[in-house]
Amino acid sequence: MSLRRPPKEPPAAALHVGPAADHAAGLPAILSSLRHGLREMGLRRTVQTLRMVNQDQGFDCMGCAWPDPARRHHAEFCENGAKAVAEEATLLRAGPELFAQWSVAELAEQSDFWLGKRGRLTEPLYLAPGATHYAPVSWDDAFGVISGALHGLASPDEAAFYTSGRTSNEAAFVYQAFVRALGTNNLPDCSNMCHESSGVALEQSIGIGKGSVSLEDIEMADLILVAGQNPGTNHPRMLSALEAAKDRGAKVIAINPLREAGLSRFDNPQKVRGMLGRGVEIADLHVPVRVGGDLALFAAVNARLLAADALDHDFVREHCDGLDAVRAAAAALDPDAVRAATGLDDHVVDELTALVMASERTVICWAMGLTQHRHSVATIREVVNLLLLRGMIGRPGAGLCPVRGHSNVQGDRTMGIFEKPRPEFLDRLEPVLGYPLPREHGLDVVGTIEALRDGRVKVFLGMGGNFLSAAPDTAVTAAALGRAELTVHVATKLNRSHVTPGRAALLLPTLGRTERDVQAGGEQRVTVEDSMSAVHASRGRLEPASRHLRSEVAIVCALAERTLGARTGNVEWAALAEDYDRIRELVAAGIDGFEDFNARIEHGFVLPHPPRDSRSFATPNGRAQLIPNPLEVLDVPPGHLLLQTLRSHDQYNTTIYGLNDRYRGIKAGRRVVLVHPEDLRELGLPPGTTVDLLGRPDRDGTVRRADRFRAVAYDTPRGCAAAYYPETNALVPLHSVALESGTPTSKSVVIRLARSG
């Protein structure tokens, strides 16, 4: 294949819109993942790799953070995981020839899809100040460049260290230890854009920022609410758990502006009836809430529970504060405001409430549809209020289930990847590391972009991820990164952040989770924590994509040694990289819940969760908090729509696998905007019209825009629209963040449509 001529993406005219599917998985899912695997890896490697996903001696799937069932199917099969694995285990290589031929400016003109399809990075690369092309550099020189830049800063707070959620516990632990040894808490991470709102709300309400259920709880529940989540695409293995619950008689309610395929019917590819395409109906009730209407919806359900006195009085008396305040807020709730915010008829809310009242074991699952709005923290507190009023925390078959995205995003937080570490966390860790840890809060993702833009941060290091494309306000973020003196990315594959460099840039290739990690002390394992706080080992088996690759742990330790010297406090950096057991010893001594870490990874273990384990709450007064939340109705001016930016079936965050969204009937293109047919009619835009998406002007008159989208008539509530991330990130204003959590409001962007010129 000639590197000069990229395979052209299909022209806009190829885009095809068919009917949306009413079910997920089944045979098409298997065929799709096999096709993807074969194209990237060939037959032998496909079979070899897929056999090791989530098996006892294999690697942890990077597809999502949904836990593994104790009894595994022969292949714990999921299209999502198979594609994520193929993406990493691909035989394609982005070697130095590619970077010799293509300038950074030329690479930047290519699509995300094209960049990712170049294959695995093979050697460290350096873009010197003023250079046009990345060129190979030795690891040693690369570390020299970074340590030189860090030493040149007036303060360690002029550097920021991003983490994406694939980083293992071991790498995350040494990374935060290094960053804090430098003297800063500038540790932004993908969580800031993801489940931060969940963490903030849960900390306030129940004293711990994690979910309170196990997989068994899901299977034992009699009622499961799935709010703001599209498991058929993003957590396909969750459908098996929902199916198991349904087999035992549970009811499932989907709360979602869209009627997502996996929730309406699921053909379990592990079962014959699923293979033949006669799956089970998953959702018993679909609640088509307006975008951003969940706060009002949950408040309205809670008001009905209070009015009917359908409370677990013993639980509330023994464990909760705030009943009177919540009662007063419920009494003051304005039914018209609820109707305006939710777009729902009262009888739908009544039906939902009746199901909640009839349930003895309720689980609520949620994801980005709840966390990426201005009032997300309040929304999630209202979700918690519901379960507290009903006594559904710390009861088998019941509880809170924020479904995480990246496979170790929860573990990274546990290891201390957090710009606002709790003092108790630092107090416990400090004597173990043996050097002082900074206390002042650091920058989150949005804070980092602002600081780069204003010249307050000069060195940016990304441990994985694709900071530019994942972040809001693409043009602003690109310009901000461009002002940095040095940008460094530790990565497996090429992406847009790498071709939007600072004045100088380094690209450091690393091992993926599928690959063998051999250090001086022998072959290494790493560990990860899933969405339900279970920690287990992961061991790669494939030969690394190139002999130059280093593990994330090895990269951090070598950089720390180069920058700080061989030893900092009690930490000997090189020794940690030789044998990861030594890292786990530090974790065992310094972080709660990891006693005997090395001994226990063999079989895995579940971290303590006081509300789940003993109905105890580590809030300031030891009680769970019922918190009243004033209603917010988003203001959408006439002629405007409320846009949510979501994932297609053929992408993993900013990595685009393909251009189809099978379940939603979209083929061969991603620049589509889904709008209610009546709204299109009122706007005078027949389906199929090419439109530009325009944001509301800023005070200085700036209008954010994303051009040339196909308008598609779709079953979504009136006044709402949907389009894919990351193409639409340019529309999300940097300053538009969730109250208290700072999460960009990627699920509620006010836009208008204009016919493209």
Ligand X SMILES: Nc1nc2c(c(=O)[nH]1)N[C@H]1C(S)=C(S)[C@@H](COP(=O)(O)OP(=O)(O)OC[C@H]3O[C@@H](n4cnc5c(=O)[nH]c(N)nc54)[C@H](O)[C@@H]3O)O[C@H]1N2
Of the pair 54, 234, the CB lying nearest Mo ion is at: 234
Angle at 260 between CA 343 and CA 528, to 5 degrees: 115
How many beta carbons lie within 10 A of that of residue 756, not counting itself?
A: 12
- From the list 178, 63, 53, 159, the residue with the least C-alpha distance to 554 is 178
CA–CA separation, 300 and 681 (whole Å):
32
The site map against ligand X for 31-70 (x = CB under 6 A) is ---------------------------------x------
Which residues, 412 to 451, sit near ligand X by CB under 6 A?
A: none
CB under 5 to 8 A by kind: which of ligand X, Mo ion, none does 651 bind? ligand X
Which residues, 507 to 536, sit near ligand X by CB under 6 A?
A: 510, 512-513
Number of residues that bind ligand X (CB under 6 A): 58
Of the pair 444, 515, the CB lying nearest Mo ion is at: 444
Which of 245, 280, 289, 480 touches ligand X (CB under 6 A)? 289
Q: Is 260 in the site for ligand X (CB under 6 A)?
A: yes
Which of 238, 732, 750, 751 touches ligand X (CB under 6 A)? 732
Minimum distance between the CB of residue 367 and Mo ion, rounded to whole angstroms?
Answer: 8
Minimum distance between the CB of residue 619 and ligand X, rounded to whole angstroms?
Answer: 26
CB under 5 to 8 A by kind: which of Mo ion, ligand X, none does 369 bind? ligand X
Of the pair 49, 531, the CB lying nearest Mo ion is at: 531
Which of 536, 537, 725, 733 touches ligand X (CB under 6 A)? 725
Are residues 513 and 538 in contact, defined by beta-carbon separation less than 8 angstroms? Answer: yes
CB under 5 to 8 A by kind: which of ligand X, Mo ion, none does 26 bind? none
Strand order in the sheet with 251-255: 285-287, 251-255, 223-227, 362-366, 399-402
Token pair in block for residue 361 = 């074991």
Which of 94, 194, 241, 461 touches Mo ion (CB under 5 A)? 194
Q: Is 651 in the site for ligand X (CB under 6 A)?
A: yes
Stretch that binds Mo ion, among 190-198, 268-276, 296-304, 392-400 (CB under 5 A): 190-198
382 CA to centre of own chain:
22
Stretch that binds ligand X, among 448-456, 573-581, 646-654, 679-687 (CB under 6 A): 646-654
- First vs last Cα of the chain: how many Å apart? 36
CB under 5 to 8 A by kind: which of Mo ion, ligand X, none does 612 bind? none
Are residues 450 and 444 in contact, defined by beta-carbon separation less than 8 angstroms? Answer: no
Q: Is 256 in the site for ligand X (CB under 6 A)?
A: yes
Minimum distance between the CB of residue 407 and ligand X, rounded to whole angstroms?
Answer: 9
Beta bridge partners of 265: 281
Q: Is 258 in the site for ligand X (CB under 6 A)?
A: yes
Omega within 30 of 0 (cis) for the link into 726:
yes
Token pair in block for residue 753 = 């449509």
Of the pair 402, 405, the CB lying nearest Mo ion is at: 405
Residue that the structure tokens 């500038």 belong to: 186
Distances (CA, A) of 445 to 189, 190, 735: 7, 8, 12
Minimum distance between the CB of residue 368 and Mo ion, rounded to whole angstroms?
Answer: 7
Provide CB contacts within 8 A for 719, sequence distance 6+: 290, 343, 636, 641, 642, 676, 679
Minimum distance between the CB of residue 62 and ligand X, rounded to whole angstroms?
Answer: 6
Angle at which helix 139-151 crosses helix 552-564, to 10 degrees, equals: 50
CB under 5 to 8 A by kind: which of ligand X, Mo ion, none does 732 bind? ligand X
Stretch that binds ligand X, among 5-13, 93-101, 487-495, 610-618 (CB under 6 A): 487-495
Minimum distance between the CB of residue 405 and ligand X, rounded to whole angstroms?
Answer: 2
**Residue number of the CB atom closest to Mo ion:** 405
- On the CB side of 323, CA atoms within 13 Å amount to 20
Which residues, 575 to 614, sit near ligand X by CB under 6 A?
A: none
Q: Is 374 in the site for ligand X (CB under 6 A)?
A: no
DSSP state, residue 20: P
- Measured on CA atoms in the order 742, 744, 748, 753, is the torsion positive or negative? positive
The b/e string for 703-730 (b: 16+ C-beta within 10 A; e otherwise) is ebebeebbbbbbebbebbbbbbbbbbbb
Stretch that binds Mo ion, among 62-70, 193-201, 356-364, 535-543 (CB under 5 A): 193-201
Q: Is 228 in the site for Mo ion (CB under 5 A)?
A: no
**Residue number of the CB atom closest to ligand X:** 405
Number of residues that bind Mo ion (CB under 5 A): 2
Q: Is 477 in the site for ligand X (CB under 6 A)?
A: no
Of the pair 353, 729, the CB lying nearest ligand X is at: 729
DSSP state, residue 3: S
Provide CB contacts within 8 A for 326, sequence distance 6+: 302, 306, 385, 389, 626, 627, 628
Minimum distance between the CB of residue 494 and ligand X, rounded to whole angstroms?
Answer: 7
Stretch that binds ligand X, among 8-16, 91-99, 298-306, 506-514 (CB under 6 A): 506-514
Q: Is 693 in the site for ligand X (CB under 6 A)?
A: no
Residue that the structure tokens 């799935």 belong to: 226
Beta bridge partners of 161: 461
CB under 5 to 8 A by kind: which of Mo ion, ligand X, none does 169 bind? none
Q: Is 224 in the site for Mo ion (CB under 5 A)?
A: no
How many beta carbons lie within 10 A of that of residue 174, not counting itself?
A: 28
Token pair in block for residue 620 = 């300031």
Q: Is 207 in the site for Mo ion (CB under 5 A)?
A: no
The site map against ligand X for 225-244 (x = CB under 6 A) is --xxxx--xxx---------
Q: Is 207 in the site for ligand X (CB under 6 A)?
A: no
CA–CA separation, 305 and 222 (whole Å):
18
Per the rule left: phi > 0, alpha: psi between -120 and 50, beta: everything else, 435 is beta
Which residues, 363 to 422, sit near Mo ion by CB under 5 A?
A: 405
Count of residues for the chain?
A: 757
Are residues 714 and 679 in contact, defined by beta-carbon separation less than 8 angstroms? Answer: no
Minimum distance between the CB of residue 595 and ligand X, rounded to whole angstroms?
Answer: 28
Q: Is 661 in the site for ligand X (CB under 6 A)?
A: no
Provide CB contacts within 8 A for 672, sequence distance 6+: 15, 17, 666, 709, 710, 711, 712, 723, 724
DSSP state, residue 684: T
Q: Is 487 in the site for ligand X (CB under 6 A)?
A: no
Interface ranges with Mo ion (CB under 5 A): 194, 405
Interface ranges with ligand X (CB under 6 A): 64, 80, 164-166, 190, 193-194, 227-230, 233-235, 255-258, 260, 289, 291-292, 294, 367-369, 405-406, 463-467, 470, 490-493, 495, 510, 512-513, 552, 644-647, 651-655, 725, 729, 732, 746-747
